[in-house]
Amino acid sequence: SQELEQSPQSLIVQEGKNLTINCTSSKTLYGLYWYKQKYGEGLIFLMMLQKGGEEKSHEKITAKLDEKKQQSSLHITASQPSHAGIYLCGADMRGAGSYQLTFGKGTKLSVIP
Amino acid sequence: EAGVTQFPSHSVIEKGQTVTLRCDPISGHDNLYWYRRVMGKEIKFLLHFVKESKQDESGMPNNRFLAERTGGTYSTLKVQPAELEDSGVYFCASSRNTYGYTFGSGTRLTVV
């Protein structure tokens, strides 16, 4: 079974609509990263969350980490075609300063103009 | 600052051949990582260098894979001999500390 479950696997939304992507684990997430990937490009860092209950926003994207540090959500408000791509969550699941990240399979987002 | 550079961007080789992937990290980043994504699976950790030393190579699949980081600058990942199941995208990342990962664009390896 996967250590980090992402849902949904894919998402098609109309431009201007809001959407949420989830990342869930049965284990503690000591550091949770959100990345975006476009075809042929590297993983673009979006946000990193560490503390339970933490919430960060950048432009129209908000990421949250729940109090138990086992679930994170990424919310996009008023989606635009530029938001299309694959969103990946990655986490430090070992703690103690581990550098190794575990990733979810990703969520493919398409935004229809 | 320049980002993490990987080359080649694509490589197609025959089963049994050797391929070497290269990664140039961001200048000043002591930590360098290799990850890979095979078809339909999640991105998985391969190994971690601190300068020229292998800190953690627990994710290396088998002894056909050899990673080096001479002088603590660029790194190479050699696959010899390549097998079909080695096909995928190989990502390199670097960081100055634990929480500052920057990924490269990846090398798409196809073994036929």
**Residue B56 has which token pair?**
């953690």
Q: Cβ contact (<8 Å) for B101 and A42?
A: no
Q: Using alpha carbons only, what angle is made at residue A26 by residues A23 and A29, rounded to the nearest 5 degrees? A: 65
Taking only the tens place, the pLDDT of each residue in B47-59 is 999 999 999 999 9
Residue A38, CA distances (Å) to A35, A41, A59, B63, B111 in order:
10, 5, 19, 32, 23
Q: Quick one: closest CA in B to A91, which residue?
A: B99
Query: CA-CA distance, B58 to B63, in Å (whole number)?
Result: 12
Taking only the tens place, the pLDDT of each residue in A39-90 is 777 899 999 999 999 999 999 999 999 989 899 999 999 999 999 999 999 9
% of chain B at pLDDT higher than 70: 97
Tally of CB atoms within 10 A around B15: 13
With beta carbons less than 8 A apart as the criterion, state whether B10 and B108 touch.
yes
Query: Quick check: A1 pLDDT over 80?
Result: no
**Residue A49 has which token pair?**
């969350």
Q: Residue B72, SS3?
A: helix
Taking only the tens place, the pLDDT of each residue in B33-52 is 999 999 889 999 999 999 99
Query: CA-CA distance, B39 to B52, in Å (whole number)?
Result: 30
Q: Cβ contact (<8 Å) for A40 and B105?
A: yes
Query: CA-CA distance, B96 to B28, in Å (whole number)?
Result: 7
CB proximity list for A75: less than 8 A, separation 6 or greater:
A18, A19, A20, A21, A61, A62, A63, A64
Query: CA-CA distance, B65 to B44, in Å (whole number)?
Result: 15
Tell me how close the Cα of B12 comes to any Cα of chain A, in angstroms.
16
pLDDT at B66: 97
Average pLDDT, chain B: 93
Taking only the tens place, the pLDDT of each residue in B62-86 is 999 999 998 889 999 999 999 999 9
